[in-house]
Structure 1
Protein backbone atom coordinates (compact mmCIF):
# COMPACT_ATOMS: atom_id res chain seq x y z
CA UNK A 1 0.00 0.00 0.00
CA UNK A 2 1.48 3.31 -1.09
CA UNK A 3 0.67 6.88 -0.11
CA UNK A 4 -0.03 9.22 -3.02
CA UNK A 5 1.34 12.75 -2.71
CA UNK A 6 0.75 14.15 -6.19
CA UNK A 7 -1.59 13.64 -9.11
CA UNK A 8 1.26 13.19 -11.60
CA UNK A 9 2.88 10.52 -9.41
CA UNK A 10 -0.43 8.66 -9.14
CA UNK A 11 -1.11 8.83 -12.89
CA UNK A 12 2.37 7.42 -13.50
CA UNK A 13 1.52 4.46 -11.25
CA UNK A 14 -1.85 4.02 -12.98
CA UNK A 15 -0.15 3.64 -16.35
CA UNK A 16 1.71 0.58 -14.99
CA UNK A 17 -1.40 -1.13 -13.58
CA UNK A 18 -4.14 -3.27 -15.09
CA UNK A 19 -6.29 -2.56 -12.02
CA UNK A 20 -5.67 -0.06 -9.20
CA UNK A 21 -7.38 1.11 -6.03
CA UNK A 22 -7.16 4.54 -4.38
CA UNK A 23 -8.68 5.27 -0.98
CA UNK A 24 -9.43 8.97 -0.56
CA UNK A 25 -9.85 9.62 3.15
CA UNK A 26 -9.63 12.37 5.76
CA UNK A 27 -7.34 11.44 8.64
CA UNK A 28 -8.98 12.11 12.01
CA UNK A 29 -12.55 11.64 10.76
CA UNK A 30 -14.23 8.62 12.40
CA UNK A 31 -15.68 7.13 9.22
CA UNK A 32 -12.48 7.79 7.25
CA UNK A 33 -10.29 6.24 9.95
CA UNK A 34 -12.61 3.20 9.98
CA UNK A 35 -12.25 2.84 6.19
CA UNK A 36 -8.48 3.33 6.30
CA UNK A 37 -8.05 0.67 9.01
CA UNK A 38 -10.07 -1.98 7.15
CA UNK A 39 -8.53 -1.02 3.79
CA UNK A 40 -4.97 -1.24 5.17
CA UNK A 41 -5.61 -4.63 6.80
CA UNK A 42 -7.12 -6.05 3.60
CA UNK A 43 -4.22 -4.62 1.55
CA UNK A 44 -1.68 -6.33 3.80
CA UNK A 45 -3.35 -9.71 3.15
CA UNK A 46 -3.46 -9.66 -0.64
CA UNK A 47 -1.06 -10.09 -3.55
CA UNK A 48 -2.62 -7.13 -5.38
CA UNK A 49 0.11 -4.53 -5.81
CA UNK A 50 -1.62 -1.37 -7.05
CA UNK A 51 -3.21 -0.22 -3.81
CA UNK A 52 -2.93 3.45 -2.88
CA UNK A 53 -4.27 5.93 -0.35
CA UNK A 54 -4.35 9.71 -0.04
CA UNK A 55 -5.20 11.98 2.89
CA UNK A 56 -7.48 14.34 0.94
CA UNK A 57 -6.92 17.60 2.87
CA UNK A 58 -3.14 17.33 2.42
CA UNK A 59 -3.27 16.66 -1.34
CA UNK A 60 -6.49 18.24 -2.69
CA UNK A 61 -5.46 18.10 -6.37
CA UNK A 62 -6.18 14.38 -6.43
CA UNK A 63 -9.77 14.31 -5.18
CA UNK A 64 -10.68 17.49 -7.06
CA UNK A 65 -9.33 15.99 -10.30
CA UNK A 66 -11.60 12.93 -9.90
CA UNK A 67 -14.53 15.08 -8.64
CA UNK A 68 -14.69 13.30 -5.27
CA UNK A 69 -16.70 15.40 -2.84
CA UNK A 70 -16.86 13.13 0.21
CA UNK A 71 -14.42 11.01 2.16
CA UNK A 72 -13.92 8.16 2.52
CA UNK A 73 -14.28 7.12 -1.11
CA UNK A 74 -12.56 4.17 -2.75
CA UNK A 75 -11.79 4.72 -6.43
CA UNK A 76 -11.44 1.62 -8.60
CA UNK A 77 -9.43 2.01 -11.82
CA UNK A 78 -9.12 -0.37 -14.78
CA UNK A 79 -6.42 0.31 -17.37
CA UNK A 80 -6.00 3.85 -16.04
CA UNK A 81 -9.70 4.74 -16.23
CA UNK A 82 -11.91 5.38 -13.20
CA UNK A 83 -14.53 2.61 -13.28
CA UNK A 84 -16.23 2.73 -9.89
CA UNK A 85 -16.43 4.69 -6.65
CA UNK A 86 -17.34 3.04 -3.35
CA UNK A 87 -18.25 5.45 -0.56
CA UNK A 88 -18.14 4.94 3.19
CA UNK A 89 -16.48 2.48 5.55
CA UNK A 90 -16.66 -1.24 4.81
CA UNK A 91 -15.28 -4.25 6.63
CA UNK A 92 -11.96 -5.95 5.88
CA UNK A 93 -13.73 -8.80 4.05
CA UNK A 94 -15.38 -6.36 1.64
CA UNK A 95 -12.03 -4.86 0.61
CA UNK A 96 -10.38 -8.30 0.39
CA UNK A 97 -13.11 -9.50 -1.95
CA UNK A 98 -12.70 -6.39 -4.05
CA UNK A 99 -8.94 -7.02 -4.36
CA UNK A 100 -9.43 -10.76 -4.99
CA UNK A 101 -11.80 -10.00 -7.86
CA UNK A 102 -8.73 -8.60 -9.65
CA UNK A 103 -6.97 -11.92 -8.99
CA UNK A 104 -9.93 -13.82 -10.50
CA UNK A 105 -9.67 -11.62 -13.58
CA UNK A 106 -5.98 -12.48 -13.96
CA UNK A 107 -6.71 -16.22 -13.60
CA UNK A 108 -9.42 -16.02 -16.22
CA UNK A 109 -7.04 -14.72 -18.85
CA UNK A 110 -5.28 -18.08 -18.82
CA UNK A 111 -8.26 -20.27 -17.90
CA UNK A 112 -11.54 -21.45 -19.37
CA UNK A 113 -13.94 -18.96 -20.85
CA UNK A 114 -17.07 -18.17 -18.86
CA UNK A 115 -20.22 -16.44 -20.02
CA UNK A 116 -20.03 -12.66 -19.81
CA UNK A 117 -21.62 -11.36 -16.61
CA UNK A 118 -22.74 -7.78 -16.02
CA UNK A 119 -24.26 -6.80 -12.69
CA UNK A 120 -26.45 -3.70 -12.49
CA UNK A 121 -26.45 -2.34 -8.95
CA UNK A 122 -26.28 0.65 -6.63
CA UNK A 123 -23.82 1.20 -3.76
CA UNK A 124 -26.58 1.24 -1.11
CA UNK A 125 -28.35 -1.96 -2.20
CA UNK A 126 -27.77 -4.88 0.23
CA UNK A 127 -28.94 -7.56 -2.25
CA UNK A 128 -26.56 -6.14 -4.86
CA UNK A 129 -23.65 -6.68 -2.48
CA UNK A 130 -24.93 -10.20 -1.71
CA UNK A 131 -25.02 -11.02 -5.43
CA UNK A 132 -21.52 -9.64 -6.04
CA UNK A 133 -20.13 -11.50 -3.01
CA UNK A 134 -21.69 -14.73 -4.30
CA UNK A 135 -20.07 -14.25 -7.72
CA UNK A 136 -16.66 -13.43 -6.20
CA UNK A 137 -16.86 -16.42 -3.85
CA UNK A 138 -17.41 -18.65 -6.86
CA UNK A 139 -14.61 -17.07 -8.90
CA UNK A 140 -16.94 -15.48 -11.45
CA UNK A 141 -15.58 -12.43 -13.25
CA UNK A 142 -18.16 -9.71 -13.72
CA UNK A 143 -18.56 -6.10 -14.68
CA UNK A 144 -20.36 -4.00 -12.07
CA UNK A 145 -22.39 -1.06 -13.35
CA UNK A 146 -23.62 1.49 -10.81
CA UNK A 147 -26.96 2.55 -12.32
CA UNK A 148 -27.20 5.49 -9.92
CA UNK A 149 -24.24 7.02 -11.80
CA UNK A 150 -24.67 5.56 -15.30
CA UNK A 151 -28.12 6.70 -16.43
CA UNK A 152 -27.73 5.33 -19.96
CA UNK A 153 -27.01 1.84 -18.58
CA UNK A 154 -30.03 2.19 -16.26
CA UNK A 155 -32.23 3.09 -19.24
CA UNK A 156 -30.95 0.08 -21.23
CA UNK A 157 -31.56 -2.22 -18.25
CA UNK A 158 -35.17 -1.04 -17.88
CA UNK A 159 -35.72 -1.33 -21.64
CA UNK A 160 -34.45 -4.93 -21.58
CA UNK A 161 -36.31 -6.21 -18.50
CA UNK A 162 -39.10 -3.75 -17.80
CA UNK A 163 -37.84 -3.61 -14.20
CA UNK A 164 -36.23 -0.64 -12.43
CA UNK A 165 -35.11 -2.43 -9.26
CA UNK A 166 -31.63 -3.77 -8.61
CA UNK A 167 -29.79 -6.05 -8.56
CA UNK A 168 -30.15 -7.28 -12.10
CA UNK A 169 -27.61 -9.34 -13.98
CA UNK A 170 -27.07 -10.10 -17.64
CA UNK A 171 -25.44 -13.52 -17.91
CA UNK A 172 -24.48 -14.47 -21.44
CA UNK A 173 -27.42 -12.47 -22.81
CA UNK A 174 -30.00 -13.82 -20.34
CA UNK A 175 -31.37 -11.48 -17.67
CA UNK A 176 -31.74 -12.33 -13.99
CA UNK A 177 -33.84 -9.92 -11.93
CA UNK A 178 -33.01 -9.94 -8.22
CA UNK A 179 -30.71 -12.42 -6.50
CA UNK A 180 -32.13 -15.64 -8.00
CA UNK A 181 -29.35 -17.92 -6.79
CA UNK A 182 -30.66 -21.09 -8.48
CA UNK A 183 -30.96 -19.43 -11.88
CA UNK A 184 -27.50 -17.86 -11.53
CA UNK A 185 -25.99 -21.25 -10.61
CA UNK A 186 -27.67 -22.87 -13.61
CA UNK A 187 -26.58 -20.18 -16.08
CA UNK A 188 -22.96 -20.22 -14.85
CA UNK A 189 -22.69 -23.97 -14.21
CA UNK A 190 -21.89 -23.41 -10.54
CA UNK A 191 -22.00 -26.69 -8.65
CA UNK A 192 -23.89 -26.73 -5.35
CA UNK A 193 -21.56 -27.29 -2.44
Structure 2
Protein backbone atom coordinates (compact mmCIF):
# COMPACT_ATOMS: atom_id res chain seq x y z
CA UNK A 1 0.00 0.00 0.00
CA UNK A 2 1.33 3.40 -0.95
CA UNK A 3 0.56 6.87 0.45
CA UNK A 4 -0.18 9.44 -2.28
CA UNK A 5 0.65 13.13 -1.84
CA UNK A 6 -0.77 14.81 -4.97
CA UNK A 7 -3.05 14.38 -7.98
CA UNK A 8 -0.03 14.11 -10.30
CA UNK A 9 1.45 11.34 -8.13
CA UNK A 10 -1.93 9.56 -8.20
CA UNK A 11 -2.09 9.65 -12.01
CA UNK A 12 1.37 8.05 -12.21
CA UNK A 13 0.57 5.43 -9.56
CA UNK A 14 -2.72 4.45 -11.22
CA UNK A 15 -1.19 4.23 -14.69
CA UNK A 16 -3.18 3.34 -17.79
CA UNK A 17 -3.57 -0.42 -17.41
CA UNK A 18 -5.22 -2.65 -14.87
CA UNK A 19 -7.09 -1.85 -11.67
CA UNK A 20 -6.07 0.41 -8.82
CA UNK A 21 -7.81 1.56 -5.67
CA UNK A 22 -7.46 4.81 -3.74
CA UNK A 23 -8.79 5.33 -0.23
CA UNK A 24 -9.46 8.99 0.51
CA UNK A 25 -9.64 9.48 4.27
CA UNK A 26 -9.02 12.09 6.94
CA UNK A 27 -6.39 11.17 9.53
CA UNK A 28 -7.90 13.40 12.18
CA UNK A 29 -11.32 12.19 11.18
CA UNK A 30 -14.18 10.20 12.52
CA UNK A 31 -14.47 6.62 13.65
CA UNK A 32 -15.60 5.83 10.06
CA UNK A 33 -12.27 7.12 8.68
CA UNK A 34 -10.25 5.10 11.19
CA UNK A 35 -12.38 2.02 10.50
CA UNK A 36 -11.96 2.29 6.71
CA UNK A 37 -8.21 2.88 6.88
CA UNK A 38 -7.67 -0.09 9.18
CA UNK A 39 -9.88 -2.42 7.09
CA UNK A 40 -8.30 -1.36 3.78
CA UNK A 41 -4.77 -1.76 5.18
CA UNK A 42 -5.58 -5.26 6.47
CA UNK A 43 -7.28 -6.29 3.22
CA UNK A 44 -4.41 -4.94 1.10
CA UNK A 45 -1.91 -6.91 3.19
CA UNK A 46 -3.80 -10.13 2.31
CA UNK A 47 -3.93 -9.51 -1.45
CA UNK A 48 -0.62 -9.85 -3.28
CA UNK A 49 -1.14 -8.03 -6.55
CA UNK A 50 -3.60 -5.27 -5.67
CA UNK A 51 -2.49 -1.68 -6.35
CA UNK A 52 -3.94 -0.03 -3.23
CA UNK A 53 -3.22 3.63 -2.53
CA UNK A 54 -4.23 6.03 0.24
CA UNK A 55 -4.44 9.80 0.48
CA UNK A 56 -5.16 11.89 3.57
CA UNK A 57 -7.45 14.76 2.50
CA UNK A 58 -6.18 16.79 5.49
CA UNK A 59 -2.92 17.32 3.59
CA UNK A 60 -3.71 16.27 0.00
CA UNK A 61 -6.29 18.73 -1.28
CA UNK A 62 -6.07 18.34 -5.06
CA UNK A 63 -7.47 14.81 -5.54
CA UNK A 64 -11.03 14.74 -4.17
CA UNK A 65 -12.22 17.80 -6.17
CA UNK A 66 -11.04 16.11 -9.40
CA UNK A 67 -13.55 13.29 -8.83
CA UNK A 68 -16.36 15.18 -7.11
CA UNK A 69 -15.78 13.46 -3.76
CA UNK A 70 -17.45 15.43 -0.98
CA UNK A 71 -17.25 12.98 1.92
CA UNK A 72 -14.63 10.63 3.31
CA UNK A 73 -13.85 7.84 3.72
CA UNK A 74 -14.34 7.02 0.03
CA UNK A 75 -12.65 4.21 -1.87
CA UNK A 76 -12.18 4.98 -5.56
CA UNK A 77 -11.73 2.15 -8.04
CA UNK A 78 -9.75 2.89 -11.19
CA UNK A 79 -9.62 0.74 -14.30
CA UNK A 80 -7.12 1.51 -17.06
CA UNK A 81 -6.49 4.94 -15.55
CA UNK A 82 -10.16 5.98 -15.36
CA UNK A 83 -12.25 6.15 -12.17
CA UNK A 84 -15.08 3.60 -12.41
CA UNK A 85 -16.68 3.32 -8.98
CA UNK A 86 -16.78 4.88 -5.52
CA UNK A 87 -17.51 3.02 -2.27
CA UNK A 88 -18.38 5.40 0.56
CA UNK A 89 -18.05 4.77 4.28
CA UNK A 90 -16.41 1.91 6.09
CA UNK A 91 -16.88 -1.74 5.22
CA UNK A 92 -15.42 -4.90 6.66
CA UNK A 93 -11.99 -6.17 5.72
CA UNK A 94 -13.55 -9.08 3.77
CA UNK A 95 -15.52 -6.59 1.62
CA UNK A 96 -12.34 -4.75 0.60
CA UNK A 97 -10.37 -7.97 0.16
CA UNK A 98 -13.03 -9.36 -2.17
CA UNK A 99 -13.00 -6.07 -4.11
CA UNK A 100 -9.19 -6.06 -4.41
CA UNK A 101 -9.22 -9.69 -5.58
CA UNK A 102 -11.60 -8.78 -8.40
CA UNK A 103 -14.86 -9.90 -6.78
CA UNK A 104 -18.25 -8.80 -7.98
CA UNK A 105 -19.40 -5.29 -7.17
CA UNK A 106 -22.79 -4.17 -8.42
CA UNK A 107 -23.30 -0.47 -8.94
CA UNK A 108 -26.48 1.42 -9.69
CA UNK A 109 -26.47 4.21 -12.24
CA UNK A 110 -25.56 7.48 -10.54
CA UNK A 111 -27.83 10.47 -10.98
CA UNK A 112 -27.32 14.14 -10.21
CA UNK A 113 -29.84 14.00 -7.39
CA UNK A 114 -28.45 10.79 -5.93
CA UNK A 115 -28.44 10.67 -2.16
CA UNK A 116 -25.89 8.60 -0.23
CA UNK A 117 -26.86 4.96 -0.16
CA UNK A 118 -26.45 2.57 2.70
CA UNK A 119 -23.68 0.00 2.55
CA UNK A 120 -25.23 -3.28 1.34
CA UNK A 121 -23.40 -6.63 1.33
CA UNK A 122 -25.05 -9.88 0.20
CA UNK A 123 -23.58 -13.18 1.39
CA UNK A 124 -24.63 -15.82 -1.09
CA UNK A 125 -23.79 -19.01 -3.00
CA UNK A 126 -24.18 -19.54 -6.75
CA UNK A 127 -26.75 -22.35 -6.38
CA UNK A 128 -29.03 -20.52 -3.92
CA UNK A 129 -32.37 -19.55 -5.52
CA UNK A 130 -33.22 -16.92 -2.88
CA UNK A 131 -29.72 -15.43 -3.21
CA UNK A 132 -30.26 -14.89 -6.92
CA UNK A 133 -33.73 -13.48 -6.25
CA UNK A 134 -32.47 -10.93 -3.71
CA UNK A 135 -29.66 -9.81 -6.04
CA UNK A 136 -32.16 -9.38 -8.89
CA UNK A 137 -34.42 -7.41 -6.54
CA UNK A 138 -31.56 -5.05 -5.64
CA UNK A 139 -30.68 -4.55 -9.32
CA UNK A 140 -34.34 -3.82 -10.20
CA UNK A 141 -34.43 -1.18 -7.45
CA UNK A 142 -31.03 0.35 -8.35
CA UNK A 143 -29.47 -0.67 -5.03
CA UNK A 144 -25.67 -0.90 -5.14
CA UNK A 145 -24.45 -4.00 -3.36
CA UNK A 146 -21.42 -6.14 -2.82
CA UNK A 147 -21.84 -9.87 -3.48
CA UNK A 148 -19.66 -12.23 -1.46
CA UNK A 149 -19.74 -15.90 -2.48
CA UNK A 150 -19.32 -17.71 0.85
CA UNK A 151 -18.79 -21.03 -0.96
CA UNK A 152 -15.45 -19.61 -2.16
CA UNK A 153 -14.53 -17.36 0.79
CA UNK A 154 -14.19 -19.34 4.00
CA UNK A 155 -13.19 -16.31 6.07
CA UNK A 156 -16.29 -14.38 4.95
CA UNK A 157 -18.45 -17.44 5.70
CA UNK A 158 -17.05 -17.60 9.23
CA UNK A 159 -17.64 -13.85 9.75
CA UNK A 160 -21.21 -14.25 8.48
CA UNK A 161 -21.96 -17.08 10.94
CA UNK A 162 -20.27 -15.22 13.80
CA UNK A 163 -22.37 -12.11 13.10
CA UNK A 164 -25.76 -13.79 12.71
CA UNK A 165 -25.40 -17.17 14.39
CA UNK A 166 -26.83 -18.68 11.18
CA UNK A 167 -25.23 -20.60 8.31
CA UNK A 168 -28.03 -20.19 5.76
CA UNK A 169 -27.87 -17.81 2.83
CA UNK A 170 -28.75 -15.30 1.65
CA UNK A 171 -27.72 -12.99 4.43
CA UNK A 172 -27.67 -9.27 3.79
CA UNK A 173 -25.75 -6.72 5.79
CA UNK A 174 -27.32 -3.25 5.51
CA UNK A 175 -25.26 -0.61 7.33
CA UNK A 176 -24.32 -3.22 9.91
CA UNK A 177 -27.81 -4.70 10.35
CA UNK A 178 -28.15 -8.38 9.43
CA UNK A 179 -31.15 -9.64 7.45
CA UNK A 180 -31.33 -13.43 7.20
CA UNK A 181 -33.15 -14.75 4.14
CA UNK A 182 -35.05 -12.69 1.59
CA UNK A 183 -37.09 -10.70 4.13
CA UNK A 184 -38.54 -8.18 1.66
CA UNK A 185 -40.48 -6.04 4.21
CA UNK A 186 -37.41 -5.61 6.43
CA UNK A 187 -35.12 -4.94 3.47
CA UNK A 188 -37.58 -2.38 2.09
CA UNK A 189 -37.77 -0.65 5.49
CA UNK A 190 -33.97 -0.53 5.91
CA UNK A 191 -33.35 0.73 2.37
CA UNK A 192 -36.41 2.94 1.94
CA UNK A 193 -37.78 0.91 -0.99
CA UNK A 194 -41.47 1.51 -1.60
TM range (shorter): 0.5 to 0.7
Equivalent positions of 1:96-175 (< 5 A) are: 96-101=97-102, 119=106, 121=108, 123-124=117-118, 126=120, 129-130=121-122, 134=124, 164-166=140-142
User: Are the counterparts in 2 of residues 71 and 88 from structure 1 also a CA contact under 8 Å?
Assistant: yes
1:13 paired with 2:13, answer yes
Match of 1:95 in 2: 96
Secondary structure in 1 matching 2:62: helix
Cα offset, 1:119, TM superposition: 4.4
* Distance in 2 (alpha carbons) for counterparts of 1:37 and 1:19: 21
- Conserved 8 A contact 1:27-1:55: yes
Paired residues, number: 128
Q: Aligned equivalents of 1:120 and 1:96: distance in 2?
A: 17
**Deviation >2 Å, runs of 4+:** 118-126
Unaligned runs of 5+ in 2: 110-116, 127-138, 145-171, 173-181, 183-194
**More helix by proportion, 1 or 2?**
1
Contact persistence 1:17–1:50 (CA under 8 A): no
Indicate the SS of the match to 2:24: strand
RMSD of Structure 2 on Structure 1 (CA):
3.1
Q: Which whole-Å CA distance do the structure 2 matches of 1:16 and 1:166 have between them?
A: 30
1:28 matched to 2:22? The reply is no
Distance in 1 (alpha carbons) for counterparts of 2:119 and 2:77: 18
The aligned residue for residue 175 of structure 2 is none
Deviations 1:13-64 (A, max 9, x none): 2115400000000012221011000000000110133110000110110111
SS state of the match for residue 31, structure 1? Answer: helix
Consecutive unaligned residues in structure 1, runs of 5 or more: 105-117, 139-162, 169-178, 182-193
Q: Conserved in 1, the CA contact under 8 Å of 2:40 and 2:96?
A: yes
Q: Is the Cα–Cα contact under 8 Å of residues 75 and 88 in structure 2 kept in the other structure?
A: yes
